Structure 1
Amino acid sequence: MELQSAGEAFIRPGQVLTDRSALAAVSRWTQAVSEADGVCVVHLAPGVDPCELTAELREQGLRASPNHVLRGQPLFFGGPASRPFPAPQVPHKPGRARSDVVVGLLDTGVAKHPWWSGSDWYARVGPEDADAAEGSQAGHGTFIAGLLTRRAPGVRLRVHRVLDGDGLTDEASVVRTLYRMRERPPQVINLSFGGHTFDDRPPPLLSDAIGALDDTVTVACAGNTGSDRPFWPAALPCVVGVAAVDATQQRRAPYSGYGTWVDACARGDWLTSSYLGTGEYAGYAAWSGTSFATALVSGAIADAARHEPAKKWIRSLLDSEETPQIPDLGVLFPASL
């Protein structure tokens, strides 16, 4: 994927996202337009700066954004969380629990694994949504699927592969996937990826796509930035942003994003879960990152949603003055794996 740096954010060069209302305003700079699933990707003429054009369109009151690049967040460069480590087999039986709750998992896909062998939801995972076989984040989605299914027994996953093997995607791909989910919205969506925007403002089309899923709780990671700079989509008001705490579950993991825009936190260090059965791995790994803290929170919400609407439950928890809070990390969800 071709990238361009813009204000310590990454974008797809020469691309701006808009809705139809802005097409006339950008026509003089447009080389081509691809429209699908609720978003227009405007391919700009050579030499046009997508960030400058976005700022100009927003001044006119139009919905626009550079096509930001987003990345999965298991990585802490230079630290122990920089890759997964092989782990011994983790005993786990899915049991007979059945839940009507559906979690949308947008990630690298999900690979075959004993934990969900024979499950109804995995039988619906087609080749296009299988986990990436190669890349620095291959197995990321499979790892998260294990955390979700253990934290919320009987939950059904709806898998959408939006990240490549290196954990990369762009805003347009995510918006289009979310748009297609409107017909059958899940109760919970797990987004263990994100990124910065060029101007630190909310990305409007991504915000619109998430906000349109009225009864869905969208959960996203706060990023492995070690800073309080807003990380999107976690920092959106309509999203439950999740930071990571260390193994003590009392302190922020040093790599985790934090700030007033974070809503919740869970353990992110050295979690063990399902993984690819290739090379030195026998289907299990230990991995760290805000990606995985996010899965624990998503799983807790999905488990609670068996008895109460997911959105009602999480709003009550986050808004209650009696709920213990960790400054700049939000509500602690204790790990129960």
Structure 2
Amino acid sequence: MLDPTNAVAVDGVSARSTIYSSAVLLVSKSVDFEDTLDRIEKVAKGLGWRAVAEEEPPHSIGLRFGVRRVRLGVRPGKAAQAPDAWTVLQYLRASSRDGACGISLEHVLVPDPHNEPTPHNEPTPHNEPTPHNEPTPHNEPTPHNEPTPNYGYDPLATGGRQPVAFVGRPPRRLSEEELAGRERPVVAVLDTGCGPHPWLDFVQRDVRLGEHPIGWPAGVPNSEIDGDQVGPLNGVIDPLAGHGTFIAGLIHQACPDAEILSWRIVPPNGPIAETDWITALAQIAELVRLYRAGDPHGQRIDVLNLSMGYYHETPEDELFDCTLYEILADLSANGTLVVCSAGNDGTARPFFPAAFAPWSDGNGPIDLKPDVLPVVSVGALNPNGSTDAVFSNSGAWVRAYERGAGVVSTFPPTFQGGYQASIATEFMGRSRASIDPDDFTGGFGTWSGTSFAAPLLAGQIAQALFESGRAGEVEQDVKRAWSALESLTSLRQGTEAR
């Protein structure tokens, strides 16, 4: 964790905390790699370290966007402090005004359900005890005689997830015959994947870029099928197991006729290495580019949902790394609307990529052109739809809000963890029990987080696109997407440009 109070400092660079891979620097494909590696090696050598370029994985070779890893280590025959990527980056900054151009830390991203640790490795204020979630200020029970350690978002104290019974009708999806020439909007999700569920048989889980899978290949254990991948056999459902399935169910509820593409990049216990995430996004951008070029290997994507992010340490810096935004801008230029969750730390600190959205006060890091689609940042509302969830990030950079607390969606019905009902007995030949807090064999649950506000809005946007007609040339699709945004958010075409 970068602690600005004792980290290496450079005049004019005001850093904030973040979590990063301590011995890895990323080099953008937008700069000359060999020249950049040479500069990194020189700085590292002066600190008693070495810098070695990692081999580029086959699935990222040839992509227009992306990064390459440079790994730091102690030089043979030397004794030195453990290598630190931030220190090298600061020395490069100090060497010249643009000494760190195209070089960045490898941030660790976190998804955004309400049971995830914050970037400071502390429990979030809405799922674990914190200085703010003790009993009421007078240490007395609330008017309902209950303590309020979770502000009502986790009544069973299981991390936010809990089973529910869905008793309504499934979303009605039109058959191909009933479509009668209408075109299904395409919503893509980069997350933990999508597990089996009767509602989600149509979800495409293996869309590739050429011969290469996007995200994790099929051989990597799938937390949406087996929810106990971390510490196997301990009987506890992993913190993020079911995350992608839950998201897909929300999109399906909001737009039953959407095509959903699902890719896996989020591990079952949460943190995501930025390199893997960037590479998957670069592959997705290439899929969309190929589609616009008329290549049959391409794929139209109307909306891309990203329910994860990180806090950047120097977003105000002129050398703020641009690799991520270059990919998002390319997707936008090709007619894909990127919808991002705002984060769950109850802070106004910009959370990326959501904070690449146009800021309502005009102070954001990105200059948006009037004919380009914006990044859409989404905060969470409570079930009443009128108040913001206390955990939701907010600020000038959050431009849309949707219900994200206590929402109901799909869970893999194979999930049944090791917790048991607190009360269980038999009476007159029938079993009686309290709710088993991690028995999702009914296929549905409730969860809270901006992770779920974002796909709910993404699905609503897809429904608006579905009702507005067929996709066309990129200019027409951008116009249709803006029309959907203006009907569902505070964003307005033209007034956001600067």
Give the shorter-chain TM-score range: 0.7 to 0.9
Q: How many residues align?
A: 321
User: Among residues 23, 29, 33, which one is paired with 1:14 in the alignment?
Assistant: 23
Of the structure 1 ranges 124-133 and 270-279, higher mean CA displacement relative to structure 2 is found in 124-133
TM-score in terms of structure 2 length: 0.59
Name the SS for the 1:256 alignment partner: coil
User: Among residues 77, 84, 91, which one is paired with 2:127 in the alignment?
Assistant: 77
Could you say which residue in structure 1 is the equivalent of 2:380? 244
Of the structure 1 ranges 135-144 and 175-184, higher mean CA displacement relative to structure 2 is found in 175-184
Cα 1:50–1:138, aligned 2, differ >3 Å: closer, same or farther?
same
Tell me the alpha carbon deviations over residues 224-253 of structure 1, each in whole angstroms, 9 at most, x when there is no partner: 010100001100134211011112212211
Could you say which residue in structure 1 is the equivalent of 2:164? 87
Cα 1:239–1:22, aligned 2, differ >3 Å: closer, same or farther?
same
Q: Given the alignment of the two structures, is residue 40 of structure 1 paired with residue 68 of structure 2, yes or no?
A: yes
Tell me the alpha carbon deviations over residues 82-101 of structure 1, each in whole angstroms, 9 at most, x when there is no partner: 32111113531443255432
TM-score in terms of structure 1 length: 0.85
Of the structure 1 ranges 40-49 and 180-189, higher mean CA displacement relative to structure 2 is found in 40-49
Question: 2: CA distance between counterparts of 1:184 and 1:323?
Answer: 27
Cα 1:265–1:34, aligned 2, differ >3 Å: closer, same or farther?
farther
Task: Verify the 8 A CA contact 1:188 1:298 in the aligned structure 2.
Answer: yes
Could you say which residue in structure 2 is the equivalent of 1:162? 265
* Root-mean-square deviation over aligned CA pairs: 2.7
Name the SS for the 2:354 alignment partner: coil
Could you say which residue in structure 1 is the equivalent of 2:322? 204
Question: 2: CA distance between counterparts of 1:234 and 1:314?
Answer: 18
Q: Given the alignment of the two structures, is residue 235 of structure 1 paired with residue 355 of structure 2, yes or no?
A: yes
Q: Given the alignment of the two structures, is residue 49 of structure 1 paired with residue 84 of structure 2, yes or no?
A: yes
Cα 1:53–1:172, aligned 2, differ >3 Å: closer, same or farther?
same
Name the SS for the 2:280 alignment partner: helix
Could you say which residue in structure 2 is the equivalent of 1:188? 303
Could you say which residue in structure 2 is the equivalent of 1:149? 252
Cα 1:236–1:317, aligned 2, differ >3 Å: closer, same or farther?
same
Tell me the alpha carbon deviations over residues 103-156 of structure 1, each in whole angstroms, 9 at most, x when there is no partner: 110001100000023x26358698458544232010000000000011112211
User: Structure 2: which amino acid aligns with 1:106?
Assistant: L
Deviation at residue 323 of structure 1 after TM alignment:
7.8
Question: 1: CA distance between counterparts of 2:17 and 2:32?
Answer: 26
User: Structure 1: which amino acid aligns with 2:281?
Assistant: L
Task: Decide which structure has the larger Cα Rg and report it.
Answer: 2
User: Where do 5+ consecutive residues of structure 2 fail to align?
Assistant: 4-15, 45-50, 61-65, 75-81, 115-125, 129-149, 209-216, 229-237, 289-300, 358-373, 417-438, 470-475, 493-498
Cα 1:249–1:83, aligned 2, differ >3 Å: closer, same or farther?
same
User: Among residues 90, 101, 107, which one is paired with 2:185 in the alignment?
Assistant: 101
Cα 1:243–1:124, aligned 2, differ >3 Å: closer, same or farther?
same
Cα 1:40–1:324, aligned 2, differ >3 Å: closer, same or farther?
closer
Q: Given the alignment of the two structures, is residue 286 of structure 1 paired with residue 446 of structure 2, yes or no?
A: yes
Deviation at residue 163 of structure 1 after TM alignment:
0.3
Question: 2: CA distance between counterparts of 1:250 and 1:310?
Answer: 31
Could you say which residue in structure 2 is the equivalent of 1:334? none
Could you say which residue in structure 2 is the equivalent of 1:111? 195
Name the SS for the 1:59 alignment partner: coil
Name the SS for the 2:446 alignment partner: strand
User: Where do 5+ consecutive residues of structure 1 fail to align?
Assistant: 332-337
Tell me the alpha carbon deviations over residues 231-288 of structure 1, each in whole angstroms, 9 at most, x when there is no partner: 0110013421101111221221100000111121101111000002211112110011
Task: Verify the 8 A CA contact 1:74 1:224 in the aligned structure 2.
Answer: yes
Of the structure 1 ranges 123-132 and 99-108, higher mean CA displacement relative to structure 2 is found in 123-132
Task: Verify the 8 A CA contact 1:188 1:219 in the aligned structure 2.
Answer: yes
User: Structure 2: which amino acid aligns with 1:66?
Assistant: L
Question: 2: CA distance between counterparts of 1:155 and 1:190?
Answer: 13
Deviation at residue 204 of structure 1 after TM alignment:
1.8
Q: Given the alignment of the two structures, is residue 121 of structure 1 paired with residue 236 of structure 2, yes or no?
A: no
User: Structure 2: which amino acid aligns with 1:102?
Assistant: V
Cα 1:120–1:192, aligned 2, differ >3 Å: closer, same or farther?
closer
Question: 2: CA distance between counterparts of 1:301 and 1:120?
Answer: 18
Question: 1: CA distance between counterparts of 2:484 and 2:350?
Answer: 23
Name the SS for the 1:96 alignment partner: coil
Question: 2: CA distance between counterparts of 1:310 and 1:284?
Answer: 34
Task: Verify the 8 A CA contact 1:65 1:204 in the aligned structure 2.
Answer: no
Question: 1: CA distance between counterparts of 2:386 and 2:241?
Answer: 30
Cα 1:187–1:317, aligned 2, differ >3 Å: closer, same or farther?
closer
Task: Verify the 8 A CA contact 1:131 1:141 in the aligned structure 2.
Answer: no
Deviation at residue 61 of structure 1 after TM alignment:
6.3
Deviation at residue 10 of structure 1 after TM alignment:
1.0
Cα 1:316–1:139, aligned 2, differ >3 Å: closer, same or farther?
same
Cα 1:281–1:123, aligned 2, differ >3 Å: closer, same or farther?
same
